[in-house]
């Protein structure tokens, strides 16, 4: 087995290369650290922006829901008013129908009464005509019998 004898100069050269490698590794670690810090900062900014957007959206949604609720209450109030007005109008129409029906019934009763009166009058005229015809026939018969 052969042993390699390291001289001071060679050892120093070797240690210098180790130092260079460690320096490059340190630079890479610092660079990675910087990039991780930048990525963390960017991620933090993005998360803050997302949080801000969520907050703004929640506030806008709350405002819109309050507006929708206000509008629904207004629509409900208007429906109630319209229902009350419709009910009032229907009651007025029902009252007018009742009054008109009573008036129509009263008029029809008057027409029926008039019809009965006209039948009585017609019967009276028929009897008067019959009596007149009999009277004229009697006068003619009496005139003929008297010789005239």
**What is the predicted pLDDT for the residue at 3?**
56
pLDDT at 1 over 60: no
Structural domain count, the chain: 1
pLDDT at 2 over 60: no
pLDDT at 96 over 50: yes
What Cα–Cα distance (Å) separates residue 122 from each residue in 111, 118, 132, 133, 140? 16, 6, 15, 16, 26
Least confident of 22-31, 73-82, 113-122: 113-122
For residue 79, is it within any domain?
yes
For residue 9, is it within any domain?
yes
For residue 135, is it within any domain?
no
Confidence tier at 128 by pLDDT (50, 70, 90) = confident
For residue 23, is it within any domain?
yes
Q: Which domain holds residue 93?
A: 1-97
For residue 84, is it within any domain?
yes
Cα 36–40–44 angle (5° rounding)?
170
Please count the residues of the chain.
Answer: 148
For residue 116, is it within any domain?
no
Cβ atoms within 10 Å, residue 45? 10
For residue 83, is it within any domain?
yes
pLDDT at 120 over 70: yes
Per-residue pLDDT, averaged over 49-59, amounts to 95
pLDDT at 29 over 60: yes
For residue 138, is it within any domain?
no
């Amino acid at each position: 087995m052969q042993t390699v004898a390291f001289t001071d100069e060679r050892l120093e050269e070797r240690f210098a290369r180790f130092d260079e490698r460690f320096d490059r590794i340190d630079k890479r670690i610092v660079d990675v650290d910087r990039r991780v810090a930048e990525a963390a900062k960017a991620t933090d900014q993005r998360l803050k922006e997302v949080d801000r957007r969520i907050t703004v959206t929640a506030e806008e949604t709350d405002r819109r829901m309050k507006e929708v609720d206000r509008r629904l209450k207004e629509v409900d109030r208007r429906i109630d008013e319209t229902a009350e007005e419709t009910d009032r109008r229907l009651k007025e129409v029902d009252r007018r129908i009742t009054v008109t029906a009573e008036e129509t019934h009263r008029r029809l009763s008057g027409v029926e009464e008039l019809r009965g009166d006209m039948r009585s009058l017609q019967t009276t005229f028929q009897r008067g005509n019959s009596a007149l015809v009999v009277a004229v026939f009697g006068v003619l018969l009496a005139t003929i019998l008297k010789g005239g």
